[in-house]
């Protein structure tokens, strides 16, 4: 059955509308609670759902802090530019509210660890502290900073190499992360989230036999 699609010309949409289109369409998004420090060592914590894995050799992750509505840079980006280091603290359902508190527009001098009730603990290889309560923590060294445009809501792609990971003991079994023990959440559009534990289905990737079967059927 033919379906109709509405054509959206993004250059004619305002920035907020484009943003809403992206965050409603790209779902669910994983959440990185990112800890950084400034040059003086003052800690900062904020969540980012423009977050992805990039590759495994070197192991790399990316986030994108966007400029604020007034065009200013977020503290996370400023700190990474100053120090070249950050920690990605992965988020489970139990940490959702604390993570959300850290996301408020706190003045620069506020330590989001204190206001969110989360516990900073020393990292092994980088200066920013980890979040003790986070089930999986990645200590990262900056590899690339790529500004994407300029002005309000423009992004900067921050790519970091994962130097070490800290995985809570009961989550890690035979080289795999146990989803039930992890209980991660994803960000949807608006202020909606999803808990990743229901409706999980298995779909193994096809092996080479699918190719030969396809071509046999063609003949």
Q: Does residue number 187 form part of the binding site for ligand FMN (CB under 6 A)?
A: yes
User: Is the Cβ–Cβ distance between 66 and 50 less than 8 Å?
Assistant: yes
Tell me which of 20, 81, 84, 100 binds ligand FMN, using CB under 6 A. 100
- Is 70 buried (19+), middle (13-18) or exposed (0-12) by CB count in 10 A? exposed
Contacts of 39 (CB under 8 A, 6+ apart): 82, 83
CB of 180 to ligand FMN, least distance (A): 22
Phi, psi of 70 (to 5 degrees): -90, 5
Tell me which of 47, 120, 129, 160 binds ligand FMN, using CB under 6 A. 47
SS3 158: strand
Pick 28 or 59: Cβ nearer ligand FMN: 28
Pick 27 or 172: Cβ nearer ligand FMN: 27
Pick 147 or 206: Cβ nearer ligand FMN: 147
- Is 65 buried (19+), middle (13-18) or exposed (0-12) by CB count in 10 A? buried
Q: Does residue number 156 form part of the binding site for ligand FMN (CB under 6 A)?
A: no
| Ranges within 124-153 binding ligand FMN (CB under 6 A) | none
Q: Does residue number 113 form part of the binding site for ligand FMN (CB under 6 A)?
A: no
Tell me which of 35, 49, 116, 134 binds ligand FMN, using CB under 6 A. 49
User: Is the Cβ–Cβ distance between 31 and 185 less than 8 Å?
Assistant: yes
Give the closest residue to 153 by CA, choosing from 82, 79, 50, 7. 50
Tell me which of 14, 40, 105, 169 binds ligand FMN, using CB under 6 A. 105
Binding site for ligand FMN (CB under 6 A): 31, 44, 46-50, 64-66, 74-76, 100, 103, 105, 187
């Amino acid at each position: 059955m033919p379906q109709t699609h509405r054509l959206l010309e993004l250059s004619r949409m305002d920035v907020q509308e484009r943003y809403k289109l992206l965050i409603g369409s790209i779902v669910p998004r994983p959440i990185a609670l990112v800890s950084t420090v400034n040059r003086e060592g003052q800690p900062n914590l904020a969540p980012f759902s423009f977050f992805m894995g990039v590759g495994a050799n070197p192991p790399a992750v990316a986030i994108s802090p966007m400029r604020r509505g007034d065009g200013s840079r977020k503290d996370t980006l400023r700190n990474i530019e100053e120090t070249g280091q950050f920690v990605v603290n992965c988020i489970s359902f139990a940490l959702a509210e604390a993570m959300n508190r850290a996301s408020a527009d706190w003045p620069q001098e506020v330590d989001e660890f204190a206001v969110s009730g989360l516990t900073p603990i020393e990292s092994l290889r980088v200066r920013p502290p980890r979040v003790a309560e986070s089930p999986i923590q990645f200590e990262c060294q900056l590899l690339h900073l790529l500004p994407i445009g300029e002005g309000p809501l423009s992004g900067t792609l921050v790519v970091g190499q994962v130097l070490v990971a800290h995985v809570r003991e009961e989550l890690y079994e035979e080289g795999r992360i146990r989803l039930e023990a992890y209980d991660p959440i994803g960000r949807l559009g608006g202020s909606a989230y999803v808990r990743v534990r229901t409706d999980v289905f298995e779909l193994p990737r096809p092996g080479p036999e699918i190719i030969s079967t396809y071509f046999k059927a063609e003949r």
